[in-house]
Amino acid sequence: MNKKCIKNVFSVRKIPISLAGFKKKLYLCTVISELDILRPLGNIPVSTDVLKSLLREYSNPNAKIALWMRQGYLIPLKRGLYIVSPQLTQTKPCIGLVANHLYSPSYISLQFALREYGLIPEFVHMVTSVTTCHARKFENELGLFSYHTVNRAYFALGITARTEGNRSYLIATPEKALVDTILFTPQVPASLIGLEQFLEEDLRFDVDALPQMKIPLMQACAEIAPKRTILQNLIKLCQR
């Protein structure tokens, strides 16, 4: 219990306090003191081990973690991973950071990244990422998260850090996000005309941004990724 609470509980009062009132005030001070453990964590996802290290003075830290979840102070992201409630921290969750921590190594990509860059108009409900691990999906209070698998050589290309507030997370560059979207979209037309139509009508991609795409990065992706013919035609569209 912090000193301020102790002082408030034991201060001399003109109005007598009942035993029940004393216990209630003591309990509230204890709760406030305990929540001070969580607030500094902000919007960083934390594991069970980290929480246990913060609760090392408690005889049963697992019970305290379970209680915090029932009270809504901790939001479970998956087994063994949590984020502190934004109502407690007054800090909005960073979805990109959550996605990176939820399944690692990974980076935000595909339609979710394209939307982040303002390259497609529609709101994307699923947080899409790329990983070197097996394909997975997670659903929690913050949303639905999906992960697509690529090899390590391709994974390493075109990743950048994006800052949101005072947090940073890994995300594909615009070029890599577009290439990833083509790779994981079934039945993308291979012809130049068909590909252009797919970008404009199906993906609703801002084709005016194509000339600003970094060709060397797209060429590096095309050399080691599937759908080489389609990616070469994508490069041609960017060069027009």
Q: What is the pLDDT of residues 160-204, one digit of tens each?
A: 999 998 899 999 999 999 999 999 999 999 999 999 999 999 999
First to last CA, the chain: 68
H/E stretch holding 239 reads helix 228-239
CA 91 vs. chain centroid, Å, equals 14
Tell me the per-residue pLDDT of 71-101, one tens digit each, with 9 for 90 and over. Answer: 999 999 999 999 999 999 888 999 999 999 9
Residues 6+ apart with CB under 8 A from 141: 75, 76
Residues of the chain above pLDDT 90, percent: 78
pTM of the shown model = 0.84
**Average pLDDT in the 199-214 region?**
96
**String of DSSP letters for 42-88:** TT--EEHHHHHHHTTTSS-HHHHHHHHHHHTSEEEEETTEEEE-HHH
Q: Helix or strand or coil: residue 122?
A: coil
